[in-house]
Structure 1
Amino acid sequence: MFCLLTGKERHSANSRPPGGSEWVEPEQTKMAQRPKTFEFEGITMSRYFTDNWDKVKNFKARPDDVVVATYPKAGTTWMSEIVDQLYFGGMQKDGSTPPVYERVPFLEFYNETFKGTDLIESLQTSPRLIKTHLPVQLVPQSFWEQNCRIIYIARNPKDTMVSFYHFDRMNLVQPEPGPWEEYIHKFNNGQLVFGSWYDHVQGWWDKSKSYSKIHYVFFEDMKEDPARELSRLCSFLALSPSETHKQSVLGKTRFDKMKKSTAAHFSQIPAFDESVSPFMRKGMVGDWKNHFTVAQNEAFDEEYRRRMKNSDLRFRMEI
């Protein structure tokens, strides 16, 4: 029987928590200059992820907090929705589900109206579900001290890069992506926000070998067999949902279903220009083939082999 681990009521759409939970940029955002990147603690960042750093660094985790961690565009929203549905799906009624960025707040994001740390602290759920894109070395120490469960999703670099590129095109609080051929160079050199994909996936992989409460998941595995990966996730979270509930979670978190649900993604955010590219774009494995030229692919493969030659991490570029 599914055990719901909460003793508090869920937020409703008409009872939004304090702390700027609407996550909207001021109207002048669309006219404002996009942020510049800079080096922060050895990582390429922008001000939206460092302006609240004291509160992020000193964030007080709770032992039952569950963290969804990824490099950007690796399936963060998908996993956030899955985990939220596992814990709290049975409490939600049609029309009463807040958007995912309220249900699974973004720890390090900060602007004039949205403070990730404040929104987490205002959550009325137990466990609290938390999203982060931080590389493992920048995760607040309290998460390790409290022995929190962390789900890390890794996606192959080619599809990650394509998705990140289109996201940067449409997201007005991200730096300008520039031409595709330059974007490949920036990706390979760790010059995108949140730094090097190589260091990010490897850092979390290495940490998972010494910290048993990291569940390292591959996006490609999730696409190949969602039911299998859901069962593995439930085991990690020590949840025993009924088969009916499992099927409900699988149904609600299909890409086509989530794309139609405004509560399951970020399409309401004014900073996102979906006339350029939708937030929920394709969610597939292998779309990189529609973007890389033969020469770009060969050059990237050579760089990938060089960077990963000493790693036991294995990624599938297609399934």
Structure 2
Amino acid sequence: MESTSQKNHDPKSNEKEEHRSDQKTVNKFKEIISKIPKKQGVWVFDLYQYEGFWGSAFWLEGMLSVQDYFKPQPNQVIVGSTLKSGTTWLKALTFAIMTRSHVGESTNPLLTRLPHDCVPFIEVELCSSPQKLNLEVPLVATHIPYTSLPKSIINSSCKIVYICRDPKDVFVSLWHFRHKMNPKDMEDHPLEDAFECFCQGLTPCGPYWDHLLGYWRASLESPEKILFLKYENLKNETTYWVKKMAQFMGYPFSLEEEHRGVVQKIIDLCSFENLSSLKVNKSGIVRLEIGITQVGVNTLELKNNAFFRKGMVGDWKNLLTPEMAMRLDQITEQKLIGSGLTLNISTNA
């Protein structure tokens, strides 16, 4: 995605990613996608099922591409998540942590660029616009399920910081985001239909529970490579988890930095209140890349403020009925049985 309000960096590019613009390669992926299950749903685009998960044709093309071509840097850090589980905040925090030694407080790119512009998705931006890969900041993001990640990532020394969230808040955030993408379509797809799709796992990158369980189990097997975060913990104990993230990523805070308040400055910079108040995030435009044709990349324009709605825990109470909340909690309990994972779920409606 690219914000029209900002010029891109001119980073060194990874030439191995230029395959996405090769029409023969695109056609090959389209042929694969044409043979897998497809569902028309309520999420703006048709969804296709591949390796147990649902996604748009464009997203799946990108996933198939990076499975073959993406080569992580030895010190690569990857932000992992599903849609609407805290991705924007986590991108900002990891970017600020990684770049703090050579970026001034007044010149930090987060002040003038959307966090998604600072930390590109490997299966989206880096496939269609390889020049967006900044080798000087080895930080990228993905919504790809763990079991579908490129073997080059699984077998590498790179680290993954993954974030999950109460499914009820994920659904509500996804519902609002979906209508910001296509507000004219609200009446055609009522809340109840979208809720049923979410419960059945028929969502972008879904089923949600399978996605987070993949990363959770991998984090148990390789805790030195995967840090598993919960959005609610990050909200309640931000200082602790920011310091833990920095240590895990290989960018620990020194005692001198802590004494100078660097940790708190990063937290303040990346707070919802600060980011949502910035001009770029209030009035900027992002172009979501949604497909490739022979003449170029199709895009959908969306205001940057679509990524900054409330950023709070428990907002589901303003939309879901008690019965809906109970159903999602029951599904979550059933899905997580035997995994050792518990989510910080609020239950009082």
TM-score, normalised on structure 2?
Answer: 0.74
The answer for the alignment partner of 1:288 in structure 2 is 316
Q: C-alpha deviations, 1:122-157, integer Å up to 9, x for none?
A: 433434111101110111111122211100001111
Structure 2 residue ranges without an equivalent (≥5): 1-5, 14-42, 288-299
Q: Which runs of 5+ in 1 are unaligned?
A: 1-12, 20-32, 110-114
Select the residue among 108, 127, 131 that pairs with 2:123: 108
Residue aligning to 2:245: 233
Is 1:16–2:44 an aligned residue pair? Answer: no
Find out whether 1:124 has 2:134 as its counterpart.
yes
Deviations 1:95-141 (A, max 9, x none): 672432232101112xxxxx323645643343411110111011111
Are the counterparts in 1 of residues 44 and 178 from structure 2 also a CA contact under 8 Å? no
1:60-94 per-residue CA deviation (whole Å, 9 max, x = no partner) reads 11111110000111111101111111121441464
More strand by share: 2
CA deviation after TM superposition for structure 1 residue 247, in Å? 1.8
Contact kept, 8 Å, 1:205 with 1:216, in 2: the verdict is yes
Q: SS of the counterpart of 1:288? A: helix
Return the alpha-carbon distance in structure 1 between the equivalents of residues 282 and 339 of structure 2.
33
Residue 246 of structure 1 aligns to a residue whose secondary structure is: helix
Alignment-mate amino acid for residue 154 of structure 1: C
Listed one character per residue, the Cα deviations across residues 150-193 of structure 1 (whole Å, up to 9, x for unaligned) are 000011111111111111111259x9892211222111111001
CA distance in 2, matches of 1:299, 1:54: 34
2:230 paired residue among 188, 200, 218: 218
Does structure 1 residue 41 correspond to structure 2 residue 51? yes
**In the alignment, what sits opposite 2:22?**
none
**What is the match of residue 62 of structure 1?**
73
Residue of structure 1 aligned with 2:202, choices 183, 191, 205: 191
Alpha-carbon distance, 1:272 to partner: 5.1
Structure-2 separation of matches of 1:126 and 1:158: 37
- Asked whether the 8 Å contact 2:75–2:158 carries over to 1, the reply is yes
2:152 is the counterpart of 1:142: yes
- Asked whether the 8 Å contact 2:47–2:56 carries over to 1, the reply is yes
Deviation, 1:195, is 1.4
Alpha carbons of 1:102 and 1:279: their partners in 2 closer, same or farther (altered >3 Å)? closer
Match of 2:86 among 63, 66, 75: 75
Structure 1 CA distance, aligned partners of 2:65 and 2:72? 12
| Kept after mapping to 2: 8 A contact 1:74/1:160 | yes
Distance in 2 (CA, whole Å) between partners of 1:126 and 1:78 is 21
Q: Is 1:299 equivalent to 2:292 in the alignment?
A: no
CA contact (8 A) 1:69 1:133 kept: yes
CA distance in 1, matches of 2:210, 2:232: 19
Return the alpha-carbon distance in structure 2 between the equivalents of residues 151 and 96 of structure 1. Answer: 22
Q: 1:306 to 1:55 in 2, by over 3 A?
A: closer
Query: How far apart, CA to CA, are the structure 1 residues paired with 2:167 and 2:202?
Result: 14
8 Å contact kept, 1:172–1:273: no
Residue in structure 1 matched with residue 272 of structure 2 by the alignment: 255
The answer as to 2:286 corresponding to 1:269 is yes
Q: Secondary structure at the match of 1:209?
A: helix
Q: Report the CA distance between 1:266 and its aligned residue.
A: 9.6
Taking the TM superposition and a 5 Å limit, the aligned residue runs for 1:202-217 are 202-211=213-222, 212-217=224-229
The structural deviation recorded for 1:45 is: 0.9
Distance in 2, matches of 1:235 and 1:15, equals 29
The percentage of counterpart residues that share the same residue type is 25
